[in-house]
Copies of this chain bind each other. A is one copy, B any other.
């Protein structure tokens, strides 16, 4: 019986790795630098060398490992191929084939945000559920969709691109994707700061947000302190998210919506603002969907990529 599995989460700066048993206990966690120079040619060999080293260190053989899962920052299709990932320097890359050859361990892979959703389903905020929507509110808005326990990869590896759902054509400026009016423009940490700046410029009203640099954290700290202007910002933020999540749930009818990423450190108050508008716009059969915070933080990716190989 192969008792172990390995999860790898490739970021633009570091690669996080975890050794798990099949039950999902994280036995060891470590990281290495991501060397993106020369078209990222060293990334997979570096990962393979580090995995082999770890197995030796723990007295394990590759034969005791059932698989190695890998999450990457970009689309990966169902065949484990990445067409192009700017962050890592890769052009076309047969990621899972190469990693299998380098390690002698069967590899599976996926987009990092999709894989993180799987991690939250396995051992995080959505544990015990099979139908999950994850939104990660960070610098951008990422996400992942799980249907019946499986990640929705999509025909072009673009499943779960929740941040690029069109929400409002009156939003100023353009999204990084080139479109105008994407959820990411208003529901990321950056978007929250932008909404706060708009609100600050629209009046001379006193606010805690005038006394310090405007950050996502500052906005929700001010909300918790009862700051009226910050609360109006949170209402707008919650409305964009609640309305859009209601569209997602009308189509997918999940059991649970998980909110992660840096903005989610605001805690339960964030969920309240989202749920308020969700309930105003959701289809009646989906009123009972649970809203929870992600619990795995930066480890969601290694949990999820390890979980990939257990199917």
CB pair A283–B179 under 8 Å, yes or no, is yes
Asked if A178 is at the interface (CB within 8 A of a chain B CB), the reply is yes
Enumerate A105-162 residues with CB–CB distance to B below 8 Å.
131, 145, 147-148, 150, 152-162
CB pair B284–A165 under 8 Å, yes or no, is no
CB pair A166–B253 under 8 Å, yes or no, is no
Asked if A26 is at the interface (CB within 8 A of a chain B CB), the reply is no
Q: How far is the CA of A153 from the CA of B289 in the complex (A)?
A: 15
**A156: which of B177, B181, B251, B286 is its contact (CB, 8 Å)?**
B286
> Interface range on chain A: under 10, 10 to 19, 20 to 34, or 35 or more?
35 or more
CB pair A154–B253 under 8 Å, yes or no, is yes
Q: How far is the CA of A288 from the CA of B155 in the complex (A)?
A: 10
User: Which applies to chain A's interface (DSSP): helix, strand, loop or mixed?
Assistant: loop
Copies in the complex: 2
Instruction: Report the nearest B residue to A148, measured CB to CB.
Output: B150
Q: How far is the CA of A206 from the CA of B293 in the complex (A)?
A: 56
In the complex, identify which listed stretch (A38-46, A242-250, A264-272) lies at the interface while the others stay far away. A242-250
Asked if A75 is at the interface (CB within 8 A of a chain B CB), the reply is yes
Asked if A235 is at the interface (CB within 8 A of a chain B CB), the reply is no
CB pair A247–B250 under 8 Å, yes or no, is no
CB pair A251–B147 under 8 Å, yes or no, is no
Instruction: Report the nearest B residue to A133, measured CB to CB.
Output: B251
Asked if A292 is at the interface (CB within 8 A of a chain B CB), the reply is no
Given contacts A164-B283, A285-B158, contact A152 B247 (CB under 8 A): no
CB pair B131–A283 under 8 Å, yes or no, is no
Asked if A217 is at the interface (CB within 8 A of a chain B CB), the reply is no
Asked if A254 is at the interface (CB within 8 A of a chain B CB), the reply is yes
Interface contacts beyond A152-B253, A251-B252: sample of 14 additional A-B pairs, CB < 8 Å, sorted by A:
A131-B154, A145-B251, A152-B251, A154-B253, A155-B254, A155-B289, A157-B285, A158-B250, A161-B283, A161-B286, A164-B250, A165-B250, A179-B283, A247-B248
A selection of 6 A-B contacts at a CB cut-off of 8 Å is A158-B286, A159-B252, A164-B283, A179-B284, A248-B251, A251-B252
